Amino acid sequence: MGYIGLPTASTFATHGIEVVGVDVNPHIIETLQSGELHIYEPGLRDLVKTAVENGKLHVQAKPEKADAFIIAVPTPFKGEKLADMSFVTSAAHAIVPCLREGNLVVLESTSPPLTTAGLVAPILEESGLKAGKDFKLCYSPERVLPGQILRELIENDRIIGGVDRSSAEAGRDLYSAFVKGTIHLTDATTAEMVKLMENTYRDVNIAIANEFSRLADRFGIDVWEAIALANKHPRVKILNPGPGVGGHCISVDPWFLVEAAPDITPLIHTARKVNDSQPEFVVKLVKKALGSLRNRRIALLGLSYKADVDDMRESPAVETAHLLVQEGAKVKAFEPYKTTAEIPGLELVSSLAEVFADAEAVLVLVPHTPIRTLEPEVVAKLTPARVVIDTVNTWPQDKWTAGGFKVFRLGVGRF
Ligand code: SAJ
């Protein structure tokens, strides 16, 4: 019942399907049963409410017999950037006692190539039933963008890879309950690769934007202007540099390919390294703006991994905050979408007034709507700070300069 499972379950349930939502975390079950949500996603609260009120969505700790089972558990790292498949493994084991002939099982979790056929099928076959023969088995990646999950779940095209053709067709029949995009059928391993290729493609493209920001800084130009001009070319579409790549997807998934085939993935590996080291580049920028970091009071705006989400997993903003603290800076951080969050080693405050109160500099790391729309006159009244370090090009330089602030932007090598 996480970021993917809960929206998917609720969407099925509001399209006439009886859904049992399973989670091993009793706190999540209690929260959902009491009508509350443990995650933020625009529109999700209303959707879950409708699904529960119309009696189609029940949440519980264990699966029960069903026609179809969907596994949407996390595949995080274990140790040094290796895929931790233990949640997939235990979810598959939990299904075994409930599995009957004719059932469909779908894995949605982003997984290394060959997981469906090589890891999930053998576990499910402990039931005595054979994948593809007695039950259907598919891999169908979630491809929804956090912040727009509910719309993309329905409108995006969907890839369904079966261990055999009839499995893929059964997957198509299930998801056509709500998917309006085209449903494309393929084999399970291709579907696994498609998902990893999509996120790796984006990671590599953000890495080049981040590398351009470093080059722009060195050569005294404005990377944002240069990217806008380069993007006038009909076949160029450079993405935005920033403090790095976070979240549970793009900063994780490319490593699954590197782990699976380290000898043939130097580009993917390097892109990951570039994006992971971008917080260090931000710290250098802050140092340049302030001269030194020790005991300098910095108001840090935004901690989640990107704008208008509350998810702080693998967040480069959190990494940047830790690096600044390590360098002796006195950091106060404010995350508008999680004002009660606690992160060991960081001082989080719950309001703009608190974060600004005695700051010397303002560091913008995430262009959340309530941060992006701040006006210099308002901020000037809340803080003695007159230095702004903008890593996401969100506060128009001219306006903030006219408002009395000295603005340092990431990837702009002239001040
Ligand atoms: N970012 C940049 N510059 C950009 C775009 C993004 O630095 O120009 C950063 C963001 O700030 C964030 C990270 O990259 O830290 C990832 O953000 P994102 O919006 O690109 O993607 P996610 O991780 O929220 O969602 C991605 C999506 N994948 C693709 O767009 C190929 C989504 O469709 C997937 O479903 C999702 O991963 C997933 O679950 O795998």
pLDDT tens track for 138-169: 999 999 999 999 999 999 999 999 999 999 99
- Interatomic CA distance for residues 208 and 213, integer angstroms: 9
Q: Report the atom number in ligand 1 closest to the C-alpha of 248.
A: 23
User: Strand, coil or helix: what is 113?
Assistant: coil
- pLDDT for residue 414 is more than 90: no
Which among 56, 136, 195, 306 is annotated as catalytic?
195
Reported pTM: 0.94
pLDDT at 341: 85
Q: Where are the beta strands (DSSP E) in 86-214?
A: 104-107, 136-139, 158-162, 183-187
Contact 242, 391 (CB under 8 A): yes
- pLDDT for residue 354 is more than 70: yes
pLDDT at 79: 86
Per the prediction, the chain carries an average pLDDT of 97
Is 232 catalytic? The answer is no
Between these two residues, 306 and 35, which has the higher pLDDT value? 306
- Interatomic CA distance for residues 296 and 254, integer angstroms: 36
- pLDDT for residue 252 is more than 80: yes
Q: Report the atom number in ligand 1 closest to the C-alpha of 199.
A: 31
What residues pair up with 362 in beta bridges, in sequence order?
A: 299, 388
State mean pLDDT over 243-256. Answer: 95
Domains in the chain: boundaries: 5-186, 278-409
141 lines ligand 1 (CB under 6 A): no
250 lines ligand 1 (CB under 6 A): yes
146 lines ligand 1 (CB under 6 A): yes
- pLDDT for residue 390 is more than 80: yes
Nearest to 174 by CA among 76, 273, 108, 266: 108
Q: Where are the beta strands (DSSP E) in 37-101?
A: 57-60, 68-71, 77-78, 82-83
Measured in Å, residue 203 CA sits from the centre of ligand 1 at: 8
Q: Report the atom number in ligand 1 closest to the C-alpha of 202.
A: 31
pLDDT at 415: 61
State mean pLDDT over 364-370. Answer: 98
Nearest to 320 by CA among 245, 223, 216: 245
Pick the CATH number of 278-409 from 3.40.50.970, 2.60.40.1180, 3.40.50.720, 1.10.3720.10: 3.40.50.720
DSSP category for residue 177: T
Reported as a pLDDT band with limits 50, 70 and 90, residue 208 is very high
Reported as a pLDDT band with limits 50, 70 and 90, residue 46 is very high
pLDDT at 384: 98
What residues pair up with 131 in beta bridges, in sequence order?
A: 135
279 lines ligand 1 (CB under 6 A): no
Equal fold, 5-186 vs 278-409 = yes
Provide the ipTM.
0.98
State mean pLDDT over 283-303. Answer: 97
**CATH code of the domain occupying 5-186:** 3.40.50.720
353's CB contacts (< 8 A; 6+ apart) are: 382
Pocket test for ligand 1, best of 40, 196, 249 (most atoms within 8 A of CB): 249
368 lines ligand 1 (CB under 6 A): no
- pLDDT tens per residue across span 99-130: 999 999 999 999 999 999 999 999 999 999 99
- pLDDT tens per residue across span 295-350: 999 999 999 999 999 899 899 999 999 999 999 999 999 999 998 888 999 999 99
Is 78 catalytic? The answer is no
Measured in Å, residue 252 CA sits from the centre of ligand 1 at: 11
State mean pLDDT over 227-235. Answer: 98
